[in-house]
């Protein structure tokens, strides 16, 4: 949308700061723009850190979301999208996992996500609002924008596989540790549903369009490709497509890991008319 592209207004602040959030909404109104839709990405997302520093996770993720919801001009904001995670399902479900599967997170990060989903549900049901809400439950987003100007480059040692792999491939870290080769999978390594970040981005746009143009609703949607790849599959694909070596060793299983986590993504396909288009090769090349 040309009009939007000409004027993207950026405010930097902290979601825990109610005053700041209020200012953003007020300034927008004063400039003649009603905020119709909100996409909430302002969460902390490291499992390991959430175990070490749970209070920061509860404060930032849950309190921050409450701040945001309190300030949304209740009747007027039409759509709210929350970046949730497949981590809300816990470890007991059998893949492919549908949105109706049991939710039972096993770490504070996952607990905060599920708590937020519950808060959103009661907010949605309240009489104060006629908002539409979608919880997008991400599987394993990887890759980068294909301009290569926006991508994942965490400070310090990454926790997640893909940024770690990228740092090994570029020589910043010597070798990748694969957490276990004794899982009951084809090659003994864990299987995940990797999704290109740009397909994930498309999912948000489709979800926003859907919420803005339909009756008030609350929907949970899995955002994954529905295809599983093992850690070794990912390494081999990365090596082939980028013509680099990724040295690895096998080490012990990581606590809290699941053997296989793959989405049933039928609901997102049907409701949003959204189809992930990028292959595992695209993810590895762009990353
Ligand atoms: C992790 C989180 C999940 C969160 C997601 C955010 C855990 C247990 N789960 O998902 O809650 O929503 O990140 O992006 O942390 N692996 C290695 N070596 C590594 C790193 C990972 O072998 O150095 C393996 C893991 O065992 C796993 C796979 O790679 O099988 C993917 O791991 P990761 O990228 O951390 O994602 P998840 O564990 O699926």
pLDDT at 155 exceeding the cut of 90: no
pLDDT at 101 exceeding the cut of 60: yes
- Categorize the per-residue pLDDT at 1 as very low, low, confident or very high, splitting at 50, 70 and 90: low
46 lines ligand 1 (CB under 6 A): no
Q: What is the pLDDT of residue 102?
A: 95
Average confidence (pLDDT) over 4-18: 85
pLDDT tens, position by position, 247-278: 999 999 998 888 999 999 999 999 999 999 99
pLDDT at 75 exceeding the cut of 80: no
Q: What is the pLDDT of residue 7?
A: 73
161 lines ligand 1 (CB under 6 A): yes
CB of 261 closer than 8 Å to CB of 192: yes
pLDDT at 40 exceeding the cut of 80: yes
Distance CA 25, CA 35 (A): 7
Q: Which atom of ligand 1 is nearest to the CA of 192?
A: 39
Nearest CA to ligand 1 atom 16: 161
pLDDT tens, position by position, 199-228: 999 999 999 999 999 999 999 999 999 999
Q: What is the pLDDT of residue 3?
A: 59
Cα of 161 to ligand 1 centre, how many Å? 6
Cα of 160 to ligand 1 centre, how many Å? 5
- Angle between helix axes 64-71 and 18-30 (nearest 10 degrees) is 30
Average confidence (pLDDT) over 179-204: 97
257 lines ligand 1 (CB under 6 A): yes
253 lines ligand 1 (CB under 6 A): no
91 lines ligand 1 (CB under 6 A): no
Nearest CA to ligand 1 atom 26: 179
231 lines ligand 1 (CB under 6 A): yes
Cα of 182 to ligand 1 centre, how many Å? 16
Nearest CA to ligand 1 atom 25: 179
The model carries a pTM of 0.95
Residue 195: partners with Cβ closer than 8 Å, 6 or more residues away = 138, 139, 140, 141, 142, 223, 224, 225, 276, 283
- Active-site residue flag, 164: no
Q: Classify 57 in phi/psi space as left (phi over 0), alpha (psi -120 to 50) or beta.
A: alpha
Cα of 194 to ligand 1 centre, how many Å? 11
* Cis peptide, bond prior to residue 48, ω within 30 of zero: no
CB of 115 closer than 8 Å to CB of 65: no
Average confidence (pLDDT) over 10-34: 92
Percent of the chain with pLDDT over 70: 97
- Categorize the per-residue pLDDT at 80 as very low, low, confident or very high, splitting at 50, 70 and 90: very high
Q: What is the pLDDT of residue 33?
A: 84
CB of 184 closer than 8 Å to CB of 227: no
Average confidence (pLDDT) over 160-189: 96
CB of 15 closer than 8 Å to CB of 60: yes
Active-site residue, from 89, 109, 138, 164: 109
Q: What is the pLDDT of residue 4?
A: 57
Q: 221: burial class by Cβ within 10 Å (0-12, 13-18, 19+)?
A: buried
- Categorize the per-residue pLDDT at 5 as very low, low, confident or very high, splitting at 50, 70 and 90: low
254 lines ligand 1 (CB under 6 A): yes
């Amino acid at each position: 949308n040309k009009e939007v592209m000409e004027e993207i207004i950026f405010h930097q602040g902290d979601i825990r700061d109610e005053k700041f959030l209020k200012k953003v909404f007020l300034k927008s109104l004063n400039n003649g723009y009603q905020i119709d839709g909100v996409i909430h990405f302002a969460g902390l997302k490291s499992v390991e850190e959430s175990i070490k520093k749970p209070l920061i996770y509860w404060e930032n993720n849950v309190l921050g979301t409450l701040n945001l919801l309190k300030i949304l001009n209740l009747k007027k904001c039409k759509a709210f999208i929350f970046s949730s995670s497949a981590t809300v399902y816990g470890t007991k479900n059998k893949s492919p996992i549908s949105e109706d599967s049991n939710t039972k997170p096993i770490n504070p990060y996952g607990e905060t996500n599920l708590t937020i989903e519950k808060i959103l549900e009661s907010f949605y049901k309240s009489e104060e609002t006629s908002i539409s809400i979608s919880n997008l439950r991400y599987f394993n987003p990887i890759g980068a924008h294909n301009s290569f100007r926006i991508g994942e480059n965490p400070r310090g040692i990454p926790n997640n596989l893909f940024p770690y792999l990228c740092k090994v491939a570029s020589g910043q870290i010597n070798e990748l540790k694969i957490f276990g080769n004794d899982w009951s999978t084809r090659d003994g390594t864990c299987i995940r549903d990797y999704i290109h970040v740009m397909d994930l981005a498309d999912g948000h746009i489709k979800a926003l369009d859907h919420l803005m143009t339909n009756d008030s609703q609350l929907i949970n949607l899995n955002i994954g490709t529905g295809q599983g790849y093992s850690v070794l599959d990912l390494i081999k694909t990365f090596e082939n497509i980028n013509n680099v070596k990724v040295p690895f060793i096998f080490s012990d299983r990581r606590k809290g890991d699941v053997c296989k986590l793959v989405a049933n993504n039928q609901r997102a396909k049907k409701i949003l008319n959204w189809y992930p288009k990028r292959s595992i090769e695209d993810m590895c090349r762009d990353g």
